[in-house]
Amino acid sequence: MITFENVTKTFVVGNKKVEAVKKVTFDIEEGDIFGIIGFSGAGKSTLIRLVNGLERPTEGKILIKKTPLHELKPKQLREVRRKIGMVFQNFNLFSSRTVEQNVEYPLKLSKVPKAERNAKVKQLLQFVGLADKAKSYPEQLSGGQKQRVGIARALATDPEILLCDEATSALDPNTTRDILNLLQKVNREMGITILLITHEMQVIQSICNRVAVMETGEVIEQGEVFETFTNPQHATTKEFISATDQSLPSPQLLDVWRAKGGTTLYRILFKGERASDPILSTVARKHQIDFNIVYGSIRELQQQFFGNLVVSFEGKHDAVIACIQELKSIVDIVEVNTNES
């Protein structure tokens, strides 16, 4: 649906060059809710502006439904952009227009006849749950309601792609959840592909099926959300994950554990169905050793179980080694390196 082929965007400021996006290559497939996560300055906004044609790549290509954007004539580019809706962090509503006039605006620009506009606006306000606010002005709405108007307006021209630029960053956690549910409904019921950028891990975990992690203009890690977040490779990805899920005890707690003469700790990851199997107790019993769960959680990620446990084993040395060997053939188990937490 959207393909980035070796895309670089360089800005020249005075006599300095800023490489905002560097050699980025990935595909967003039809039906995806694709999340791009990165800290401030990573290049996320530039990437999204390249998709809606507000910026042109310095090098490389962006293809939308196999059409290279840079080869389009202005009229064709306008057509493609009509099929791309945009939702903003600060809503970007006209304060002097009512809710229905805000949603109607892109339809007026596209010269859609009045009766058709009215029907569409009514349908969209119903879809986003704001039918009773049609005559209100933005200042009379809460942040979440304003974002619903922003989403309804972005959907007015029947887009195939919705770009969301930090759409929930200005909202409280409950409202964020409502807006994310609405975006999921847009994706499922309208079949719209969503590309969102965020610095919040929670957003990616709740609704995205695929993710790309950006740092200093580069995509440093990408893939299915479950795989990427249960087996992160890059330090920055690990940092994002630790914001919502601390996978190891703090160094201070580990020091307390060591000071008490604690045995070696192991971190075990259980994924999918493995998380609900009694693997640990079965294997420990077989080798006649005990285990002690020191830290961890079992939680839901992308409708799958994901368990992260830190354990110690107690028993005869050879039996402990044999138990760990057997567990290695079933689950991911590594010795906790106390420097990495």
Ligand X SMILES: Nc1ncnc2c1ncn2[C@@H]1O[C@H](COP(=O)(O)OP(=O)(O)OP(=O)(O)O)[C@@H](O)[C@H]1O
Q: How many CA atoms lie within 13 A of 281 on its CB side?
A: 4
Q: Count H helices, E strands: the chain?
A: 12, 14
| 149, two tokens | 């108007």
Residue 20 touching ligand X (CB under 6 A): yes
Q: What separation, in Å, do the N-terminal and C-terminal C-alpha atoms of the chain show?
A: 39
- Rank residues 107 and 163 by Cβ distance to ligand X and give the closer one: 163
Among 6, 11, 123, 190, binds ligand X (CB under 6 A): 11
Stretch that binds ligand X, among 13-21, 179-187, 245-253, 263-271 (CB under 6 A): 13-21
Closest CB 89 distance from ligand X, rounded Å: 9
Residue 94 as a binder of ligand X (CB under 6 A): the answer is no
- Contacting ligand X (CB under 6 A), which of 13, 14, 15, 339? 13
- Residues in region 27-86 near ligand X by CB under 6 A: 38, 40-46
What would the x/- binding string for ligand X be over residues 130 to 159, using CB under 6 A?
Answer: ------------------------------
Q: CB 7 → ligand X: shortest distance, Å? A: 12
Nearer to ligand X, 41 or 223 (CB): 41
In DSSP notation, 80-146 reads HHHTEEEE-TT----TTS-HHHHHHHHHHHTT--HHHHHHHHHHHHHHTT-GGGTT--GGGS-HHHH
Residue 198 makes contact with ligand X by CB under 6 A: no
Determine the size of the site formed for ligand X (CB under 6 A).
12
Nearer to ligand X, 50 or 268 (CB): 50
Minimum Å gap between C-beta 119 and ligand X is: 37
| Pairing label, strands 67-68, 84-87 | unpaired
Q: What is the DSSP string of 166-193?
A: STTTTS-HHHHHHHHHHHHHHHHHH--E
CA gap 78, 109 in Å, rounded: 12
Considering only 6, 17, 18, 285, the residue that binds ligand X (CB under 6 A) is 18
From residue 229, alpha-carbon distances to 66, 84, 204, 240 in Å are 30, 29, 10, 9
What's the min distance (Å) between Cβ of 172 and ligand X?
19
Cβ(125)–Cβ(141) below 8 Å: no
Environment class of residue 161 by beta-carbon count within 10 Å: exposed (0-12), middle (13-18) or buried (19+)? buried
**Distance (Å, rounded) from C-alpha 77 to C-alpha 87?**
19
**Cβ closer to ligand X: 11 or 94?**
11
Nearest approach, Cβ of 218 to ligand X (angstroms)?
11
Return d(Cα 235, Cα 325) in angstroms, integer: 27
In the complex, the smallest distance separating the C-beta of residue 92 from ligand X, rounded to whole angstroms, is 15
Q: Report, in Å, the least distance between residue 24 CB and ligand X.
A: 11
Q: How far is the CB of 184 from ligand X (least distance, A)?
A: 23
> Residue 251: which H helix or E strand, with range?
helix 251-259
Closer to ligand X by CB, 41 or 272: give it.
41
Minimum CB distance to ligand X smaller for 45 or for 230: 45
How far apart (Å, rounded) are the C-alpha atoms in residues 329 and 322? 11
Angle at 240 between CA 254 and CA 7, to 5 degrees: 145
Q: Which one of the spans 12-20, 145-153, 266-274, 281-289 is the region binding ligand X (CB under 6 A)?
A: 12-20
Q: Does 89 sit near ligand X (CB under 6 A)?
A: no
Report the nearest approach of ligand X to the CB of residue 205 (Å). Answer: 19
Q: Under the rule (CB under 6 A), what is the footprint of ligand X?
A: 11, 13, 18, 20, 38, 40-46
